[in-house]
Every structure is written in structure tokens, then in C-alpha cells.
Amino acid sequence: MLRALICAGALAVPLTAAAFTGGDLNKLCTRTDVASRSACAAYIEGAADGVYNTIDAIGGTTGPRVGQYFCLPPDTRTQQMTDAVRKYVAENPNSVNYNASTVIALGLGKAFPCKPNE
């Protein structure tokens, strides 16, 4: 019986999973309740860490490299990152259809570009 439940659950997950888009992220980030604001900030920070760590794994983040989207100053605050991503979505309406992590990387890249000596 347990085996049947596990199999049924495994089959149901792919059918219900959907990509979290830039539009979904923007909707989350425009909400004013504490839980939504915290979820927005956590998602953006997590995606930024993920992109950074991926670039580090394929060649380092000690300077602009192929695929490095952004260079965050050490004192960057979460709200600055959120504002940068929301501004990017506002200025690029088609980005609502992109994957949310792509929108985050592009938004942070626009606001926090890497300088040649970084």
C-alpha cells in the first residue's frame, strides 16, 4: 500500500509542477503582507546565490566571466535587490514570461553590472 502511495505521489508531482515566472515573482513582490514580502526577498536572495554559485563552479566569480550576470557590492541590501528586479520587470514587460531566476539575474545585472576590474 505504501509503495502504491509513493508511486501515485511521484506521478502527480510532475503534472502539478509549473515554472515560477517573472510575472509570478512580481505579483508576490507587490503584495504588502509580511509573509509575501519575506518570501519575495528570500526567493531573490536564493536565486542570486544560486546564479553566483553556478558561475563560481564553472570558472569563478573573481571577475567578469562569460555568463557572470552581476557583481553585488558587499553592502548590498535585500531591498535594493528586490527594487532592482521589480524595476527590470517594469521596464521589460516581456520578462513576465521568463523564468523568475532569469529575471532576477537580468535585473541584478542591469542594476549591479560587473566592472572590468572586478
Question: DSSP states of the chain as a string?
Answer: -HHHHHHHHHHHHHHH----BHHHHHHHHH--SHHHHHHHHHHHHHHHHHHHHHHHHHT-SSS--TT------TT--HHHHHHHHHHHHHH-GGGGGSBHHHHHHHHHHHHSPPPTT-
Locate 26 and state its grid cell.
512580481
Is 117 part of a structural domain of the chain?
A: no
Is 65 part of a structural domain of the chain?
A: yes
Q: What is the pLDDT of residue 7?
A: 40
Is 95 part of a structural domain of the chain?
A: yes
Is 4 part of a structural domain of the chain?
A: no
Q: What angle do CA 65, 110, 56 make, to 5 degrees?
A: 30
Q: What is the pLDDT of residue 114?
A: 80
Is 14 part of a structural domain of the chain?
A: no
Question: Which are the contacts of 118, defined by CB distance < 8 A and separation ≥ 6?
Answer: 63, 64, 71
- List pLDDT tens digits, range 38-62: 999 999 999 998 887 776 666 655 5
Q: What is the pLDDT of residue 52?
A: 75
Is 6 part of a structural domain of the chain?
A: no
Supply the CATH number for residue 41's domain.
1.10.890.40
Q: What is the pLDDT of residue 32?
A: 93
Q: What is the pLDDT of residue 116?
A: 67
Q: How many domains does the chain have?
A: 1
Give the residues of the chain that fall short of pLDDT 50.
Answer: 1-17, 63-65, 118
Is 54 part of a structural domain of the chain?
A: yes
Owning domain of residue 94: 19-111
